[in-house]
Structure 1
Amino acid sequence: MMAPTLFPRDTAAEMAASLAAGTTTPEALLRTCLDRIAALDGTLHAWAHLDPDGAAMAAAASAARHRAGAALGPLDGVPVSVKDNLHVAGMPARWGSRFFADFVPAQDDIVVERLRAAGAVIVGKTSTPEFALSGRCFSPLTGHTRNPLNPALTPGGSSGGAVAAIAAGMVPLSVATDAGGSTRLPAGYTGLVGLRPSNGRIARRHGFPPMALDFQAVGLIAATLADLRLLYGAVAGPDARDPTSLRLPPEEPAGPGRRLRVGWCAAIEGELVDAEVRQAVAEAASRLAAEGCEVVPCTIPYDLAALRAIWGVLTAVGVARMAARFPERWEAEASESLKPMAARGATMTATEYVEALDALAAFRADVSARWGAHDALLLPSAAAPAWPVEREFPAFIDGQPGHARAQNVFATWVNAMGWPGLTVPGQPHPDGRPIGVQLVGSHGSEALLFELARRLGA
């Protein structure tokens, strides 16, 4: 495995400081961003759509505000990207699919409204696999998205374009989504910080239909924790158009002096987890202990077999719904990986679907009851580091045959619960590939996860 390529990149916090000091302009930041895209994206395929004209108008408006001393906040003039399964008015929202190749939404999702209100410069839309349903990032529209640290490797999925854009220094911030690990796993593969917030923490309205009930949340990706918190501060919060966002508990800051109890686990019986991944989690546990946390070994609080069964039903039905909308085009135009899912979903009965909903309710109750006295859990983000871009999954882990389900065994349960999960860089693999470690808290505990990430040095 070759050593990773490192790209020069400015953080959002550095950009904001330079803008405030008057040592750069929004137009200059945008030019740098577009120059890097022009130089690199022919190889990386991080972008599904660029909007240089719209971005230039936003940058000029931001520059005028800065000259007038009326900046809207720290993100005013900072370039950002939005994943191609989120609606940005006037830009294509293709969802990685030929079926939506010509679709242009008329309304922004709430998170995009808030980006605009903060003065951020939306450069364009980042690549995603079809319907955002793959652990790597291949789309019939954009091809293989590649990992900037080593283009022979995948950046993961489904937010592969989002992480590639940041890791290559094209933009400092990306807004994405996470239904089964789609923000946290790619962040781990590229050495970034990725947040899947609690359901409702980032309000939503106007978008594609859900593929798995309420498993998906808007996710945030950045190079540093400080940048992530800048983005979070601009886009998080309730909105009456999203009733779920009105039911969240208030955030409770977890200060540096508070002793936090963290359970850690890096293995699941019967599942293959890379030895270097297990070591990275153990090393992070030691760092948290050195920072004053009570760190204790634990076992996972969820039934993985039950979760897989639930996920299989929900996603199969979700894909079948899309196949039913395009019956004459489906066989010729859908990604091959989706066709068996659609076929399975089309044959399911209403009884089977409702039984899956019953199983999900039981799963949520059981995990909540098993959570115990922990403030948070420390887990791997993924079972192995990034792998060759053409493969669905690495053929071997620790010399044993791998399988496609293994990568997200520590991730999708968080989505099923609607809880927050935060990936930060851990101790890298000896060959240089990044390894992410994941902090998970109960509903509404983002502030606590930010504090633990700070103690880990993110």
Structure 2
Amino acid sequence: MSQDLYELSATELSASYAAGLDPREVAESVLARIADREPVLNAFYVHEPEQVRRDAEASAKRWASGTQLSAFDGVPATVKENIPRSGIPVPSGTALANPPVSAENAPVTDRLLEAGLVLLGSTTMPDWGMLSSGVSSRHGITRNALDPSLTTGGSSAGAGAAAAAGYGPLHVGTDIGGSIRLPGTWAGLVTLKPSAGLVPLHAPYMGRAAGPLTRTAADAAALMSVIARPDIRDYSTRPYPSMDWFKGPANPAGLRVGLQLDAGSGAEVDPQIAAAVQRAADLFAAAGAHIVELRPFMSQAQLAGIDAFWRTRSWADYSALEPEQRENVLPYIARWCAGGKDYDGVATMVHYNRFAQVQQETIAATRDYDLVLSPVAPMAAFPAEQPMPVDDPDLPMAHISFTMPYNMSGQPAATVNCGFMLDGRTIGLQLAGPVGADDKVLAAAVWFESVRGDAALDWARVL
């Protein structure tokens, strides 16, 4: 093949393995890519090349004997640091000593291994997953593969860097307010925050989801076909009808599509980002979709209340540490969560109730639409050393007003690159749909990829 093996998509690898390509060759190509880029990008928390080679050899033997575990047996993949793997510590991005060691795999980890995927390792995250960057007291700084001076986003920071750099095609992150989709917009990726309970979790939490970060929508769908399977260990799992992950591009004709360019809270949308999203909506309209402007539906008070609740939750964790341990937490996080220490029980309940308000209003505002288009974030990627896009821990999170509502409502929300800033930074389009419409949302992303023209990212530019 003229293309480097590490560049091949999961669907290309699946077909190539069936035609005789050896997974060991792919593993060596990916390992070489990692060795070349990792000193700069810092995407891995745990990476064991010899284990990768052993797993690729096992896959090669299965393909040779016709006993492959799935169509994606031998395809390289990663999981985020907070997705447990048996016997591996889970520090959650912090430099705290003696992090807990996983006694068993997470459901997602088991699904990947059951399908024969080759795990390259566990990817980095910032402290407690509470930053939208790759800044960590344990790992240092994870950088954007498109431009190492820029953030890769977070908290699925290492997953975003690995996906953009070509560390194999499939990467799993987690998302509680945008942590999969923010690396999506800032690293030019296709991502999906799935419907609530579709992908089983080891530790369910309000709004939390696990899902794919990939270079193409077809690969995101391929990964969902592996990990979107029930597991009794996740008590929040919901029964969903079977989804067609390989349906191909959607036909937008006749779809009722909401277009939201104003979230109603947080930072103002950069005009270049708004223009790129509008151009994407125009493509849907030209294909026969009915575009309706969607009003803002989340208030600044709701955003501030949710931010305050998260501060209080993290303050509970921080304050339980011994004084010498607190010094190991990133100072930005320490200051941010200190904002929650003085809220009494009444205030905390008021803040907690904001989640239900956002859930209710998001569903009410979007219920008449097959699809909702919006920016992913109101700003483009910022310097890699900066913990947050608005670099003031005393202010509410100003960048999650387009993403976080869908965590609360449980609706699927994908990202796909839709343009570039004048300086070349990527701009993501968010596509959200009704609960349980994950396959349809990804099909819409597949269609958009086919018509977006020069809004497509040229992955050859990723050195």
- TM-score by shorter chain over 0.5: yes
Q: Do the aligned residues in 1 keep the contact of 2:366 with 2:372 (CA within 8 Å)? A: no
Q: Does 1:133 align with 2:125?
A: no
Aligned residue for 2:456? none
Counterpart CA distance in 2 for 1:342 and 1:329 is 17
Counterpart CA distance in 1 for 2:213 and 2:442 is 13
The structure-2 alpha-carbon separation of the partners of 1:352 and 1:257, relative to structure 1 and needing over 3 Å to count, comes to: closer
Aligned residue for 2:24? 27
The RMSD of aligned alpha carbons is: 2.4
Aligned residue for 2:345? 350
Aligned residue for 1:3? none
Aligned residue for 1:399? none
The one of 150, 153, 163 aligned to 2:150: 153
The one of 65, 68, 75 aligned to 1:68: 65
Q: Which moved more, 1:368-377 or 1:286-295?
A: 368-377
Q: Deviations over 1:144-165 (max 9, x none)?
A: 1111111111111111210111
* Letter in structure 2 aligned against 1:320: W
* Letter in structure 2 aligned against 1:267: D
SS of aligned partner of 1:125: strand
- 1:45 shift after superposition: 0.7
Q: Does 1:88 align with 2:80?
A: no
TM-score by length of 1: 0.90
The one of 317, 327, 332 aligned to 2:327: 332
Aligned residue for 1:430? 422
* Letter in structure 2 aligned against 1:336: P
Give the total of aligned pairs: 440
Counterpart CA distance in 1 for 2:252 and 2:346 is 51
- 1:170 shift after superposition: 1.6
The one of 302, 307, 310 aligned to 1:306: 302
* Letter in structure 1 aligned against 2:276: A
The structure-2 alpha-carbon separation of the partners of 1:344 and 1:268, relative to structure 1 and needing over 3 Å to count, comes to: closer
- 1:143 shift after superposition: 1.0
Counterpart CA distance in 2 for 1:343 and 1:286 is 45
Counterpart CA distance in 1 for 2:10 and 2:241 is 29
Aligned residue for 2:369? 374
SS of aligned partner of 1:408: coil
Aligned residue for 1:274? 270
Which structure 1 residue ranges, 5 or more long, are not aligned?
1-6, 397-402
Counterpart CA distance in 1 for 2:96 and 2:110 is 26
Q: Do the aligned residues in 2 keep the contact of 1:110 with 1:203 (CA within 8 Å)? A: yes
Q: Deviations over 1:155-195 (max 9, x none)?
A: 11111210111111122111110111111011111111011
Counterpart CA distance in 1 for 2:439 and 2:286 is 20
Counterpart CA distance in 1 for 2:250 and 2:212 is 23
Q: Deviations over 1:260-307 (max 9, x none)?
A: 111102234573211110011011101111222112222233334313
Aligned residue for 2:8? 10
Q: Do the aligned residues in 2 keep the contact of 1:310 with 1:360 (CA within 8 Å)? A: yes
Counterpart CA distance in 2 for 1:312 and 1:279 is 32
Aligned residue for 1:193? 190
* Letter in structure 2 aligned against 1:104: V
* Letter in structure 2 aligned against 1:144: I
TM-score by length of 2: 0.89
Counterpart CA distance in 2 for 1:255 and 1:268 is 26
Aligned residue for 1:240? 232
The one of 207, 211, 225 aligned to 1:219: 211
- 1:139 shift after superposition: 0.8
- 1:229 shift after superposition: 0.8
The structure-2 alpha-carbon separation of the partners of 1:249 and 1:305, relative to structure 1 and needing over 3 Å to count, comes to: farther
- 1:241 shift after superposition: 2.4
The one of 433, 441, 448 aligned to 2:440: 448
* Letter in structure 1 aligned against 2:316: R
The structure-2 alpha-carbon separation of the partners of 1:345 and 1:393, relative to structure 1 and needing over 3 Å to count, comes to: closer
Counterpart CA distance in 2 for 1:404 and 1:360 is 15
- 1:34 shift after superposition: 1.4
The structure-2 alpha-carbon separation of the partners of 1:317 and 1:362, relative to structure 1 and needing over 3 Å to count, comes to: same
- 1:395 shift after superposition: 7.5
SS of aligned partner of 1:245: coil
Counterpart CA distance in 1 for 2:188 and 2:126 is 21
* Letter in structure 1 aligned against 2:352: L
Q: Which moved more, 1:104-113 or 1:48-57?
A: 48-57
- 1:442 shift after superposition: 2.4
Counterpart CA distance in 1 for 2:114 and 2:388 is 40
SS of aligned partner of 2:66: coil
Aligned residue for 1:184? 181
Counterpart CA distance in 2 for 1:255 and 1:387 is 33
- 1:455 shift after superposition: 2.1
Q: Do the aligned residues in 2 keep the contact of 1:49 with 1:92 (CA within 8 Å)? A: no
The one of 350, 359, 364 aligned to 1:364: 359
Aligned residue for 2:166? 169
Q: Do the aligned residues in 1 keep the contact of 2:135 with 2:387 (CA within 8 Å)? A: no
